[in-house]
Every structure is written in structure tokens, then in C-alpha cells.
Amino acid sequence: MVMEKITIFDKTFKTYIPYDEFIGDIDRVAEELNRDYSGGDDIPIILCTLNGAVMFCAELMKRITFKCEFATIKVSSYSGTQTTGVVQVKQPMLCDVTGRRVIIVEDIVDTGYTMKLMKSYLSEKGAVDSRICTLFYKPESYRFKDVINVDYIAREIQNQFIVGFGLDYNEIGRNLKDIYILDE
């Protein structure tokens, strides 16, 4: 059952994308990953960005058919409904990526500052390749189109603040199955 409106702290959100509408997007992205990573001699690393990408990554992992290793990293750039423009690694990854291919699994690519940091971080750690896989992508706000490719996109969305399915407003709302948009 989809809730039409929800309130989190001082903000009201309305239904934007029901789960049943975007689950097919996850199926499609998993098929693309399976096509691109199956049959290789190496074992790529699925790097889940905490906390937001947990639900997307879990759904994606159920559909991946190639051998892979799983790791996490915690990065943050948001305060309330706005990005601060400053990305911090709050919990580094615990695996060695030297000579490995890495698939960065992200909940949403907005301005791209987090992905810029992640690509640089993985390169410094010795990854031979890193690709970005995101549930949601905001092309209007992405600032690195000519520099950093977003390789796997489940769904493009408007440049508006959303919560649900791992995405939060001040750490609340991640558990919601559907995606909600600010009701202004």
C-alpha cells in the first residue's frame, strides 16, 4: 500500500515513484552489469556507499549472477535537504582494491561531488577501473558530465529532494519502500 503523504520532522512529502514502478529499473541495471561483468577472470568488488545505497545494493545483489566481492564505504555531503558541496569519507572501505575493478553502488548522483571523490579515492587506492551504478540520477544538477561518466543509471529524475528506499531527510525515511518528493 502506497502512502500518499508522509511527514518527517518539519517537511511533508508526497508519493513520487512507487516501488513497483522503479523495481523494473533495478532489474534492467542488473542485466547490464551481468552482461558487462560475467565471464571475466577477476572478481569485481561491489562497493556500497552507506547509508543510502543499502536498499538498492541489496536488491541489485539478488540479481547479480557473476562472482563478486562486497564492501562498504560511508561518505556524506548532505545536511538537511541540501548538499554542502564538501564530501567526507566517514568510514573507509576495509578491502584492498589494488589491481581490482570496482562497481560503486550509489543511491543518487546529484551534483557529482561524491562520485568525483570516490573515483579519485579508488584510483589512489590502486583500483584498475571504477564504474558508477546509481539508482537515481539528476542530470540537471550533475556538474561533471564531461569528466566523470555515470555508467549505470536505473532512473533519471528531476532536480528535487527525495526520500525513501534508502534516501533520507536528516537520517529519517530510509525505511520507506516508495520514493517521496517534497510537497511544496
On whether the CB atoms of residues 135 and 154 are closer than 8 A, the answer is yes
Query: Which among 110, 129, 151, 168 is annotated as catalytic?
Result: 110
pLDDT tens column, 68-111: 999 999 988 755 666 666 788 889 999 999 999 999 999 999 99
The tens-digit pLDDT sequence of the chain (184 residues) is: 677 999 999 999 999 999 999 999 999 999 999 999 999 899 999 999 999 999 999 999 999 999 999 999 998 875 566 666 678 888 999 999 999 999 999 999 999 999 999 999 999 999 999 999 999 999 999 999 999 999 999 999 999 999 999 999 999 999 999 999 999 8
Give the per-residue pLDDT at 80. 60
CA–chain centroid gap for 122, Å, is: 16
For the chain, the structural domain boundaries read 21-156
Question: 54-63 vs 19-37: helix axis angle to the nearest 10?
Answer: 60
Q: Are strands 11-17 and 5-8 parallel, antiparallel or unpaired?
A: antiparallel
Type of residue numbered 140: E
- C-alpha torsion sign, points 150, 155, 157, 163: negative
CA–chain centroid gap for 26, Å, is: 12
| Dist CA 89 CA 78 (whole Å) | 12
107 included as an active-site residue: no
Give the per-residue pLDDT at 88. 82
Give the per-residue pLDDT at 81. 61
Q: Which residues have a Cβ under 8 Å from the Cβ of 21 and sit 6 or more positions away? A: none
Find the largest Cα–Cα distance for the chain: 51
CATH hierarchy code of domain 21-156? 3.40.50.2020
Strand pairing partners for 17? Answer: 179
Give the per-residue pLDDT at 83. 64
Give the per-residue pLDDT at 1. 65
